[in-house]
Amino acid sequence: MLRPKVPTMPQPTGRIAPPAVVEPTAVVPHGQAAPAAVAAPAPARPTVQLTPGAVIALIGGGTAVVLVVGAVLVSMLLAVAITGASLAICALVIRSLIGAESKHR
């Protein structure tokens, strides 16, 4: 009824590149040392020079970052503390309501 069709591999078309040519390397006998390659000197990296104004700006920026991060952390701590306190108060109120209801019956 249903017969699967087996795909056939098509023949390559277009231009085919020839194989790469491999050149032999020179063999240095064990007794002789190969000539040492002269390493090029590394380019000199420019040094960072801080002016007094840049130092003051860095100190001011660092102080601002510390103050902002500290304010965010303190506000998160306060939010957790307020949430915990309100949950404790709700638990006490519910407990007292349940206790009062059982006394009236």
Per-residue pLDDT of the chain (105 residues; tens, 9 = 90+): 678 787 787 776 666 676 677 777 777 667 655 556 666 666 677 777 889 899 999 999 999 999 999 999 999 999 999 999 999 999 999 999 998 877 766
Classify residue 39 by its DSSP letter. Answer: P
Q: Is 61 exposed, middle or buried (0-12, 13-18, 19+ CB in 10 A)?
A: exposed
Residue tagged 């307020």 (tokens): 82
Predicted confidence at residue 82, as pLDDT, reads: 98
Predicted confidence at residue 20, as pLDDT, reads: 72
Cα–Cα distance list, 58 to 30, 46, 50, 55 (Å): 59, 20, 10, 5
